[in-house]
Amino acid sequence: MPELPELNPVVHGRLRLALLALLSGVEEADFAWLRGKTEATDGNLGAQLLKLEEAGYVAVEKRFLLRKPQTLYRITEDGRQALTEYIRALKQLLGPAVNV
C-alpha cells in the first residue's frame, strides 16, 4: 500500500482552506469581502488570516481609503504553491473516491 500523503496543517483548517481558495481567484480582497464570503466572525477571520500571514501564504497591506482604515489580503506564491500541493495530496489520499 502506498504511503499516505501529508496534508499541510496550515492549509487543512476549513476556514484557512476557504480563504486560500478565495484569494487564489482574485488579485486582492479586503477584510469585509472575505468576511462576507466566509460568514466568519471578525475574531475568527482575523486569527485565521494571521496564521496564513505568519506561514507566508498571505500578504497583508494596510492603508486608508477616505480616512478609513482598509486591510487588503492577497495570496503569495508560497500560498499558491501550498494550496496546489494540498489539493494534489488530497486527491492522492482520496484516490478513486475523487471520481465519484
Percent of the chain that is helix, strand, coil (3-state, to 5): 60, 20, 25
DSSP 90: H
Domain CATH code at residue 86: 1.10.10.10
- Whether 68 maps to a domain, the answer reads yes
pLDDT at 4: 81
pLDDT at 1: 55
Mean pLDDT by 10 residues, the chain (100 residues): 83 97 98 97 98 98 91 98 96 76
Separation CA 72–CA 25 (nearest Å): 14
- Whether 64 maps to a domain, the answer reads yes
* Distance (Å) of CA 54 to CA 87, 94, 100: 21, 29, 36
Separation CA 80–CA 77 (nearest Å): 5
What's the domain count of the chain? 1
- Whether 3 maps to a domain, the answer reads no
Q: Which domain holds residue 24?
A: 9-90
